[in-house]
Amino acid sequence: MSSLTRTSQHLAAVFACFYFLKGATGIVDSTPCDRLTKPTIPGATVISIQSQHLPNTSVLASPPLLNINVTGLDICNVDVVLSHQSSNDTVKVKVWLPSAGWNGRFLGTGGSGYAAGFFELSLAPVVALGYAAASTDAGLAGDPYSPAAWALDAQGNVNSDLLLNFASRSVHDMAVAGKAIATQYYGKKPHHSYWNGCSTGGRQGLMAAQTHPEDFDGIVAGAPAIDWARYVIAEQWPQVVMREEGFHSGRCLLQAFTNASISACDSLDGLTDGIISNPRSCKFDPYTMVGWDFQCEDGQKETVTPKIASMLAKIVAGPKGLAVTHKYALNAGAALDSLANTTTDSDGNTIGYPFFVNDAWIRYFVKKDPGFDTTTVGYASFAQLFNASQREYGALIGGYNPDLSRFRAAGGKAIVGHGEADQLIFPAGTVEYHRMVERVVGRGNASSVAGFYRTFLAPGVDHCGAGALTGASPGAVPVDPLAAVVAWVENGIAPDVLDARIQSVRDDGAVVTKTRNLCPFPLRSRYRGGDAVAEGSYVCA
């Protein structure tokens, strides 16, 4: 990506028994919006609370975080400011409470990039559905693109308290505060609590299950940025390869490679639809492209040489080493022009342009030097960075603890989703985490884990399904995983499939709606014949 606008397209898209406080009835007195009092949050001091009835509130679309206008909301808006002892932080939690039509549920909402939450942009669509919902800034600047304002203190040391907030602490604080405020306002506790987030929000949800398993009854975690301390460094790998190989690819060549891999493997599932249904079965060899000529949009021509093929092969293979626990590489069919992004300098030379997440993590947290040039990282220094990041931050923000036994014991259910054409976060990490949960919690029994934890892989879908909004992603995106986890938690209806859908425009201008059932891992949606755009033509196998 060569601009902030292009980068923003890859931020997270929004996936979209009453037991009360006192007495046999379980009912407490409701409190008017303007009279709500400070909640008690263990480990934190609530500095202030401000609440206001907003009878006709609208939130305008701000793609990709909010893609439609949400109007006519009648809410109680609550702002809680808190701090942690000896942390010198100031954290804001915003809670929105429907004045009428509350569905009895609480929902925590997640962030993206280096932002822990987006306040009204994430609250509006779920409050419109009747949820009491909350969002937090974790005491950070709220900038998803950079941690520059909070990563280092005045002495140049990593601000470990704010990093802890970003990693996990503020999600727990938000859950405690949000549910307490909802209880005051409605006079009864939420009967169930949920989490919904993608990317950073997906990581937040799984870390909540790991660290505070009773905070949420149901969790939707899309494209979870777990294994943060390692996977973020692995995102730098394509830049390392281009530097060491002495060639920086333009977008034209990278797109040509992605298109070639799709063309080679598309029909392996018996259907040619622009989607690789099982990327693991795709063994496309970049060396078969040697000698190919491409006409780029800017009029320039590209010819694939053995050197270029070698570079592409190393990029898609991902890093290797003693500390590399599994494959940190993009699937076949995923776009390479985010992590292997380039730009043009003032002299017209093509140079590396690292993705903002890994670039900032290396500079601020691993090197602790905002001026460090990540385009200078080679093979040897990459290995050093990879090990140092995990050593310093793995326990804090890794989010890779597979022991979800307490979450299961608390009755929690989790739906994890990941697009297999994700161009930013490696789907193999989500798959490996699922297998680890099976080994640790299920003791190798997959069916016992399926009783509370299910992973759904979406063929042809990019990061958080953002491409579905622009036509850049051909795969069907889950329609409403939040409703699915609610049905699982409250009605015992386990999601044997997730409904998925995507619309596209044909050359003749007709709009085509493609539906597909996504299957719980390790099952896959397999084409069995019939209408290629109808979910009934696929079976989990």
Residue 147: Cβ within 10 Å count: 26
Residue 314: Cβ within 10 Å count: 20
Angle, CA of 228, 433 and 362, to the nearest 5°:
15
- Taking only the tens place, the pLDDT of each residue in 435-457 is 999 999 999 888 899 999 999 99
Q: List active site positions.
A: 199, 422, 463
Q: Which of the 8 DSSP states describes residue 129?
A: T
pLDDT at 135 over 70: yes
Q: How many CA atoms lie within 13 A of 58 on its CB side?
A: 6
pLDDT at 19 over 90: no
**What's the length of the chain?**
541
8 Å CB contact between 160 and 89: no
pLDDT at 208 over 70: yes
Higher pLDDT among residues 152 and 468, named by residue: 152
| Burial 83-106, CB ≥16 within 10 A → b, else e | bbeebebebbbbbbbbeeebebbb
Cis check for the bond before 125: say yes or no (omega within 30 of 0): no
CA–CA distances in Å: residue 521 to residues 398, 444, 449, 518, 541: 23, 14, 11, 9, 10
Confidence of residue 21 (pLDDT cuts 50, 70, 90): very low
Q: Which of 249, 6, 350, 343 is nearest to 145 (CA)?
A: 6
Confidence of residue 18 (pLDDT cuts 50, 70, 90): very low
Task: For residues 488 and 419, give the distance between their C-alpha atoms in angstroms, rounded to a whole number.
Answer: 22
Confidence of residue 503 (pLDDT cuts 50, 70, 90): confident
Q: What is the pLDDT of residue 260?
A: 95
Task: For residues 334 and 422, give the distance between their C-alpha atoms in angstroms, rounded to a whole number.
Answer: 6
H or E segment and range at residue 306: helix 306-317
In this prediction, what percent of the chain has a pLDDT beyond 70?
95
8 Å CB contact between 385 and 377: yes
Q: What is the pLDDT of residue 28?
A: 56
- Taking only the tens place, the pLDDT of each residue in 178-203 is 999 999 999 999 999 999 999 999 99
- Whole-structure pTM value: 0.93
pLDDT at 4 over 50: no
Query: What rounded mean pLDDT belongs to the chain?
Result: 92
Q: Which of 446, 515, 517 is nearest to 484 (CA)?
A: 517
**What tokens does 511 get?**
């709009």
Task: For residues 168 and 116, give the distance between their C-alpha atoms in angstroms, rounded to a whole number.
Answer: 10
